[in-house]
Structure 1
């Protein structure tokens, strides 16, 4: 079963409640109805649809959830997903960035110094060389990445990626693409 089909089946609230009741140990239509707080008719209709898809087996009033199909669908989806776009040409740096950057956001600031420098080098690329930025703009650019803009700003300055004077910041370190 494809992950999209599985999600589509569970997008219906009644079918989701039936699957949840089965996962929690209900074994008959009556037990599912009681556990899910649903009318028997609704459970029977949902069970029929889940049975046609192969997610549930039905033997009279007895229902069996095939929970292993969730894992199989997840594995199939993961195998068919395109590989992540590299964030760096250097495989070691890319591995660090893939661990800390999700969907264009920094999920956490690395504690390990070497990893933190890789992330800061990546963030420094947001700032154009030769352009002076007021603190408010620096905060806005960093907020796209992570909510703790003060920490990121401080790390970028302390580690020489940005310089600061009279409330203005400019890029003073990191790599520049030419």
Structure 2
């Protein structure tokens, strides 16, 4: 989940993190009410109700309709549905920790398999090998063309079997090769 989506989700839940606002939404889900009617039903002062309604309007959860000098509020069902589809899915909730779980696990794999900048052993586990390949790919800059000898030299700094890792990097589509020249391929979703 991106920072903007995370901020939107946090704003949404902060806006709902009030008992009176939740009660207002419950009432407005059934019918329209004026500020005075909501104040009476919730045993609040009208300015307090107006304050809460302003927060709910900012989230686009309620809409207002004027009839003369009286403003009537109702639940905005389309926003509620959109929020449900955008934020409150199992996939979205799981994506809250994608970066945390992935990064921490990858860091641990690197710590376990490397002694400083030297790879101690070639992992047989496919997921761990993918982490090592990603790490090797990070040793190459985007937009730079490398001669094969340069690629070999960079890999040799970290493991003696440079030919194996060079082939693996190309096979994993982390490096591209054409006529003895190599370059780093941007990862999906990367802006590089």
TM-score bracket, shorter-length normalisation: 0.3 to 0.5
> What's the TM-score once normalised by structure 2's chain length?
0.44
> What's the TM-score once normalised by structure 1's chain length?
0.48
* Larger Rg belongs to: 2
